[in-house]
Structure 1
Amino acid sequence: MSAVHSSPLAECSDNSLQSALPTRKRRLELGLLGPLEVRFNGHAVPVGGPRQRAVLATLMLAPERVVSVDYLIEEVWNGDPPSTGRAQIAICVAALRKVFRTVGVHQQVIVTAAPGYKLVTGEHIMDTVEFTRRVESAQRATEQGGREQAIALLRDALRLWRGPALDGVSSRAAETEAMRLEEQRLLAIEQYMALRLKAGEHQTLLSELSTLVRENPLRERLLAQLMLAQYRSGQRVEALRTFREGRREFVAELGLEPGTELQELHHAVLRDDSAALGPAAGPASAAPTSAEPSGNWPSPAQLPSNIGAFAGREDELIELDDLLAERSDDDPVGIGFVTGAPGVGKTALAIHWAHRAAAHFPDGTLYADLQEAGQPLSPQAVLQRFLRGLGVEPERIPGGLEECAALYRTVLRGRRTLVILNDVHSFPQLRPLLPGNGRSCALVTGRTELQGLIHSGSPLRLCLGQLRQTDSVRLLSGVVRGRRIDRDPATARLAELCDHHPLALRAAGARLANKPHWTVADLVARLENPRRRLAELSHGEYSVRARLECGYGSLDAAAARAYRVLGAGQSVDFDVREAANVLELPLAEAEDTIERLLDTHLLEVAADRGGVFGRRYRLQELLRLHARETAASTLLVPSGC
């Protein structure tokens, strides 16, 4: 049994049993907290070969209790003993007794007791017993308010560990006990770290806790302690990053989200809740984060209502938390750009995260939809709206775009404000609306790529795709309240027919909610017919067809033709040569057209084996249905999207 094992006590250079226990003459020191170790009067005692060590370890795991010969045989040979097993056990015990006598131990350590043998500890010391005694004493001291005494006891208890418990001993009992002892060690470490954090040692603990979390990434309490130490040391951004990385580990290894306590701690860090976390020290606390806005300007609260029945996007929400990093006025503005296909949930994600992070922006939130009746709004109109929301009197608002933008940046100077810019059409439309200081953040959504963002710092870019199966079912269940459709086996098929596409899922859920006499299977039967699917998912505000037509309407003539032709084709996916052949275009021109479809997220890469010709493309099923429908009817895009 071997494993990487580091002591949490950076100040301890000697973790031997002898250094941690009071020395008394003529006593054995028996150690299991590391490789099996026997010492007498401070000197190591050679125990013998693997079988003798296995016999001694098995007896040490049950001190003062009789261990049968049959059990010893089972453990030493792991269930496959030789016919001479009983005799060999007797030989091992005799050899161990001789070892103890030879070094000068006069008391009998291993006695015969039917139906086997017993280890008599007497005045001898076992590190496992001593470890347990000191941890229990520390617990009592803590309960009685003796924090410093408890810290000292735990420090001494953890010094007993020399490595992984029972390292080098191979038996089933040894492996089981090693796991139990390791759990006890980690619990003691967590208790030790908690007491030291209460004592204000957060800065000195950063290195130790970082190492412990790296070695034990699924220990929620250690993760929480590291986040707390980072926050109190003025490393708020690092604390948020620690949670994000820890959550990824939980999802990847266990398929589970972190527990409630850890998530509540994360939210407290997001809110900069020093009342719950304790005061932050260092650079982070120097930045103004009080709820009072800078100057005498009002704090706008323009966010729309939070999104109901929101599901999934946990990774993206955590990525967006990077926008909460502490910055100065002179830093580049923090920008997040959320993009993806029409109806994939860009606006829903932005609004949901903005509500979650609103407490982090004490000077208010600004919000604007940058499309109106299918047409891009002028940035000047948006700026004038923002300035009024920021408390600028109408007569003081300039008439020109540049003057409005300058005043906007001046008002936001020194303030921590969140600006949500939804459905941006182009970078020229966006640029005047970006705050000019690093304390504020801008969260931008749009269907098309905004190349100019690269020149505005290092924006966080999130491209949304389909939801996972479990999240699709959760979203459907959230829309269809009052009916446990998540338990209906047909719900999984319904999610598939919706392409795990958020808008389509909301449309399907709304259909079921408005038709309580329908079963999930009824709607599935309707959607199974490809010719009816878009019509069934295009009722009211959740119209998949209307949203896809808006995306189609943004294409130039060549890309629109390619969308129709490729969608009407028989192949589910294709490469650039096949596309060039179907479109009757030169290879380079076909590749450029495909790239424009990719930029608007009406096409996706299905597989990439390297190089232009190793890449295959496809339209998602709902997009294919729309492209075929458009090709057949040559629909005109409506003026209002």
Structure 2
Amino acid sequence: MSELSETSLPSLGFRYLGPLEVQADGRRLRIGSPRQRVVLAMLLLASDCVVSVDHLVDAVWGGSPPATGRTQVAICIAALRKMFAAAGYHDVIATVSPGYKLVSDGCGIDGVQFSRLVDEGQTALQQGRTAEASAKLDQALKLWWGPALAGVPSAVVEGKAIRLEETRLAVYEESLALKLELRQHTDLVPELAALVREHPLRERARALLMLAQYRAGRRSEALEIFNEGRRRLVEDLGLEPGPILRDMQTAIFRDDPKLASAKPVPSVWTRVVPAQLPPTAPLFTGRQTELTALDRLLDQRARGGSLPVGVLTGQVGVGKTALAVHWARGAADHFPDGQLFADLRGWDPDHPAAEATAVLSGFLHALGVPLAEIPVRLDEQTSLYNSLVDGRRVLVVIDNVQNAAQARPLMPGSGTCCVLMTGRTLPDSHGSVRLHLKPFRTDESSALLRGIIGEERTRDDPESLERLGELCDGMPLALWSAALRLAARTHWTVKDLLSRLEDPDRRLNEISHGIWDVRAQIGASYRYLPPRAALVLRRLGSLGSCDVTPRMTATLLDCGPAEAEDLMEQLHEAGFLEVAARGQDGYRRYRLPGLFAQYARERGRTEDVGDGVKSLALVRAQFA
């Protein structure tokens, strides 16, 4: 392990590439309790990002937190702030719902510096500056001064430390490979031999040692190193050597002239462990049944076999992405080789759907492939992608999928991986766990609203809070939009917003703003409807939010009940209609939620002017 040299960190410096340490103005600060060390480690590893209180509780106590866990985390935060303040540093830890974040501005963090130096080394290498790249990696490795996060008592932190160590080893291998390119093979043999003794199953390190020995005129020793590695792989893992070792053995047997060239061992940059998941949604609410169901994906992956695939569907704004990211973050420790995330923009009203080649290019780069080495053709990208993740434990989250064909190139071929995809309707997608999300129940809606608006403003009027949830159809997107309006207008009461939402013609306007534009999101689904189904939606919207049957729809369209039911099923698959119980007439009943009904009425006023729609009063009277 390389010793940490003196660095030019700012006056407040954090080191976790070894035992966790905090220095202020050249003196070491004493971190009080083991729990404080865990909390600080978690904040450091996600510097400038919010870490939820729930995630901190899980890191401190695992799956068995005490009832006072959240309070004790707050006590740890207060103690850390006191420690920083006593050293003259304030506002290091900020409170940001639903937790806390460490503000890195003005601080030095060795892990952040390590990543920056490695990135600079990779850039230099891609531009052909090998000596500079080697120097940057050497600088990065000197920041390590022991096992990462040693002395932090947490299984969650330990899992992150293992991933950091894997990154260090991969960077170390790359550093040695660059030195070989710079013709330093004689001096490297002892160092590479020590690395192989410490990590006998790392095939690239063994291949580098074989190359150094061959270039130093020790051909027979190089071949014996291969034989020793093959024995270890077969005995310990039941595997034959991979292509890097096999190719090196063949080249040495043949005295291949390429062995004398600058770069006979491919630069794979396996240091990269992608962690692309977005932040979990603040105030994530409910969905315990769905989270438990998704855990079956972990069980299937542990058993081996085919690729575990989860599919989340549901209407616009029902919280599919929030659930997918929340579960994925909770399951991240089961995927130490990385987590990939892609938004395919299948329903984005402002941008075209993402191309598979662009997404795969991003995945490959995240997995360590230099940009210059990424293939252009989709089939070549797919082949390289499957090779890189084969046998690795990688979680792939694919968001906003419009159809199975869009996601298929992104599906790994290895059953050690796992895929979770979301879409408003995915009838052509197979999933070993398939869930259709429904809107929030009344209690879930109230809990989310209360968390955003605040307990003080909602405590005395639970009835108004429940009514607000009803007018938002229990749709998390609409609930967030409405609650944020109230949170920003502290002089409003819940009833003030209710008075606006009770008017159906104003409701969508009141909850459509910024990134919470409910009307635009519904419109993105509407534009993909077949013309006949869109006509059904507009005419059903003219009836308002009520239960409807295929017979009622047939009357509105002057068509048969079978055709009407097919069209209503299309609307159900697209997330516009909810299925209700069958009526006494034996027909299945559907419901058009209030916000969707209002949108359909708006479209009808624009598109069906003078269309001669059958009298609504007549339809209602006929089926009353």
TM-score, reference length from structure 1 = 0.52
Q: Which residue of 1 aligns with 2:444?
A: 471
Q: From the superposition, tell whether residues 615 and 402 of structure 1 become closer, same or farther in structure 2 (CA, over 3 Å).
A: same
Query: Could you tell me how far apart the structure 2 residues matched to 1:484 and 1:532 are?
Result: 24
Question: 1:584 aligned to 542, 555, 558, which one?
Answer: 558
Displacement of 1:527: 0.9
Q: Which residue of 1 aligns with 2:407?
A: 430
Question: 1:630 aligned to 600, 603, 616, which one?
Answer: 603
Percent identity, please: 43
Q: Does 1:504 align with 2:481?
A: no
Q: Which residue of 2 aligns with 1:544?
A: 518
Q: Which residue of 2 aligns with 1:522?
A: 496
Q: Does 1:560 align with 2:534?
A: yes
Displacement of 1:360: 1.6
Give 1 or 2 for the bigger CA radius of gyration. Answer: 1
Q: Which residue of 2 aligns with 1:620?
A: 593
Query: Could you tell me how far apart the structure 2 residues matched to 1:613 and 1:376 are?
Result: 41
Displacement of 1:631: 0.8
Query: Could you tell me how far apart the structure 2 residues matched to 1:360 and 1:576 are?
Result: 47
Query: Could you tell me how far apart the structure 2 residues matched to 1:289 and 1:408 are?
Result: 21
Displacement of 1:540: 1.6
Indicate the SS of the match to 1:617.
Answer: strand
Query: Could you tell me how far apart the structure 1 residues matched to 2:546 and 2:342 are?
Result: 38
Q: From the superposition, tell whether residues 434 and 425 of structure 1 become closer, same or farther in structure 2 (CA, over 3 Å).
A: same
Per-residue deviation, residues 325-380 of structure 1 (Å, max 9, x unmatched): 26379621111111100111111111111111112211111111101634211111
Q: From the superposition, tell whether residues 290 and 570 of structure 1 become closer, same or farther in structure 2 (CA, over 3 Å).
A: closer
Query: Could you tell me how far apart the structure 2 residues matched to 1:550 and 1:573 are?
Result: 24
Q: Which residue of 2 aligns with 1:333?
A: 307
Amino acid at match of 2:513: H
Q: From the superposition, tell whether residues 330 and 324 of structure 1 become closer, same or farther in structure 2 (CA, over 3 Å).
A: closer
Question: How many residues are aligned here?
Answer: 356
Contact 1:448 1:599 in 2 (8 A): yes
Query: Could you tell me how far apart the structure 2 residues matched to 1:586 and 1:519 are?
Result: 49
Indicate the SS of the match to 1:325.
Answer: helix
Q: Which residue of 1 aligns with 2:316?
A: 342
Indicate the SS of the match to 1:614.
Answer: coil
Amino acid at match of 2:434: R
Q: Which residue of 2 aligns with 1:153?
A: none
Q: Which residue of 1 aligns with 2:362?
A: 385
Displacement of 1:630: 1.4
Indicate the SS of the match to 1:305.
Answer: coil
Contact 1:292 1:363 in 2 (8 A): no
Q: Does 1:446 align with 2:423?
A: yes
Displacement of 1:522: 0.6
Query: Could you tell me how far apart the structure 2 residues matched to 1:426 and 1:310 are?
Result: 27
Indicate the SS of the match to 2:422.
Answer: strand
Displacement of 1:523: 0.7
Q: From the superposition, tell whether residues 600 and 374 of structure 1 become closer, same or farther in structure 2 (CA, over 3 Å).
A: farther
Indicate the SS of the match to 1:376.
Answer: coil
Q: Does 1:572 align with 2:549?
A: no
Q: Which residue of 1 aligns with 2:572?
A: 598
Displacement of 1:305: 1.5
Amino acid at match of 1:417: V
Query: Could you tell me how far apart the structure 1 residues matched to 2:352 and 2:154 are?
Result: 47
Indicate the SS of the match to 1:414.
Answer: coil
Contact 1:380 1:401 in 2 (8 A): yes
Displacement of 1:289: 10
Contact 1:329 1:438 in 2 (8 A): no
Amino acid at match of 1:604: E
**Which consecutive unaligned segments of at least 5 residues does structure 2 have?**
1-62, 70-152, 156-161, 171-201, 203-269, 609-624
Displacement of 1:318: 1.2
**Which consecutive unaligned segments of at least 5 residues does structure 1 have?**
1-257, 265-274, 278-287, 636-641
TM-score, reference length from structure 2 = 0.53
Q: From the superposition, tell whether residues 297 and 436 of structure 1 become closer, same or farther in structure 2 (CA, over 3 Å).
A: farther
Amino acid at match of 2:437: L
Contact 1:568 1:627 in 2 (8 A): yes
Displacement of 1:587: 2.8
Displacement of 1:317: 1.1
Indicate the SS of the match to 1:505.
Answer: helix
